[in-house]
Amino acid sequence: MEMNPADIAAYIGAAAWLPQIGSYIYQNFIKPKILIVPEKQVEIGFTSFGPIFNIRLALSAEHKDVVIDSLELAISHEGGEMNSLSWIGLRETLSEISDSSGTRAMIEKEQPAIALKLNTISLVEKLVRFQNLRHLDEQKMLMNDLIAKAIFIAKNKPASIVEIITSTEFQKLMELYDRDFFWKPGKYSVEFRAKSPESIVLIPQNFQFILHPHDVEALRANLQSIKADHENRILNLTPNYQVKPITWAWRNPTLNKK
C-alpha cells in the first residue's frame, strides 16, 4: 500500500501525540503503591485520652507521589476482639544537638495528623500517635457535661464542689474508660490501613505483638490515675487544693512481622 504525502503527515502528527497519551494513561490509570515499614518497638498506653498506640513509621510510594489523608490501625486479639485506632498526631525529628558537656537533645516537630505527602524519591519517617476517635468524641461530650456542672456548683455553692466527684456526670465519664479498656493478655495482630483522595494500592502486611498478664495489670492501674487526673481538674477550682501527682504506666512490646 502506497502512502501519499497527506497520509505520511497524518501518521507523523499522530505519532507526536503518543508521548502525551502515554503520560495521560500512566498518570490516570497507574495506581501509587504504598509501603509502610514500622519500627519494632511499640509504645502502648491507656491514659485520660483512652487507648493509645504510638509507633515510628517509614512510608514510601512507588510509581508516583501521593497524599495520604487517613491512616488507621486494625488491632485484633487472638480471642476475636477487634478495635480500630486512627492517627491523631505526628512527630518528626528535625535534628540532634549537643551542648559543651556532650549532652544530646533532639529537636522535634509536632503536628496534627491531617495529611501526609509521600514521594517516590525518599522515605518519610514519622512517629505516629494512634487513638480511638469514638472514645475521644464521647469523652469530649461527657467532659462538657461535667465541666458545666462543676462551674454551676462553683458559682452557686462553692463549698460543695467536692460533690462533683460523686455526681452522675463524673461516674458516666469513669464508666466510659472502664468500657473502652480493651487491652488483655495474649497475642495481637496489627494491620495498617491507609486512605487517599485517589485510588492507591497498599502493600499488604501483617504484624503481631504479645501482651503478658503483668503488662495488662500495669496498664489497668492507669484507670486510677485517670480518676485522679479528672479529680485534679475539678477540685483545683477550690482554694488551697493540693494537686495529686499522676504517674502513667506504658508498655513497649516488640512488633514482629507475621
| In a domain? residue 217 | yes
pLDDT confidence of residue 92: 75
> What average pLDDT does the segment 81-102 reach?
76
Residues 125-173 have pLDDT tens digits of 999 999 999 999 999 999 999 888 888 877 777 666 677 888 899 999 9
| In a domain? residue 224 | yes
The string over 77-92, giving b where at least 16 C-beta atoms fall within 10 Å of a residue's C-beta and e elsewhere, is beeeeebebbbbebee
- Cα 46 from Cα 53, distance rounded (Å): 9
More confidently predicted of 214 and 17: 214
| In a domain? residue 10 | no
Considering only 147-156, 172-181, 246-255, which range has the smallest mean pLDDT? 147-156
Global model pTM greater than 0.85: no
pLDDT confidence of residue 239: 72
For residue 39, pLDDT beyond 50: yes
Give the pairing type, strands 201-202 and 33-38: parallel
- Cα 113 from Cα 85, distance rounded (Å): 13
| In a domain? residue 9 | no
What percent of the chain shows pLDDT beyond 70? 81
Q: How many CB atoms lie within 10 A of CB 126?
A: 21
Which candidate, 49, 53, 60, 126, places its Cα nearest to that of 85? 53
| In a domain? residue 22 | no
Residues 22-36 have pLDDT tens digits of 444 445 557 899 999
Confidence of residue 118 (pLDDT cuts 50, 70, 90): very high
For residue 9, pLDDT beyond 50: no
CB 165 within 8 A of CB 150: no
- Cα 230 from Cα 145, distance rounded (Å): 13
Take residue 105 and report the three cell numbers written for it.
537533645
What CATH number should be reported for the domain holding residue 53? Answer: 2.60.40.10
> What average pLDDT does the segment 34-63 reach?
95
Domain hosting 105: range is 33-257
In the chain, count of helices (H) and strands (E)?
5, 13
Which candidate, 140, 133, 111, places its Cα nearest to that of 51? 133
| In a domain? residue 183 | yes
| In a domain? residue 14 | no
Q: Calculate the average pLDDT of the chain.
A: 84
- Cα 210 from Cα 218, distance rounded (Å): 15
Backbone angles phi, psi at 86, to 5 degrees: -120, 155
More confidently predicted of 98 and 21: 98
CB 211 within 8 A of CB 251: yes
The structural domain count of the chain equals 1
Query: What is the length of the chain?
Result: 258
pLDDT confidence of residue 28: 52
Residues 181-197 have pLDDT tens digits of 999 999 999 999 999 99
| In a domain? residue 232 | yes
More confidently predicted of 174 and 1: 174
pLDDT confidence of residue 83: 96
For residue 258, pLDDT beyond 60: yes
Confidence of residue 18 (pLDDT cuts 50, 70, 90): very low
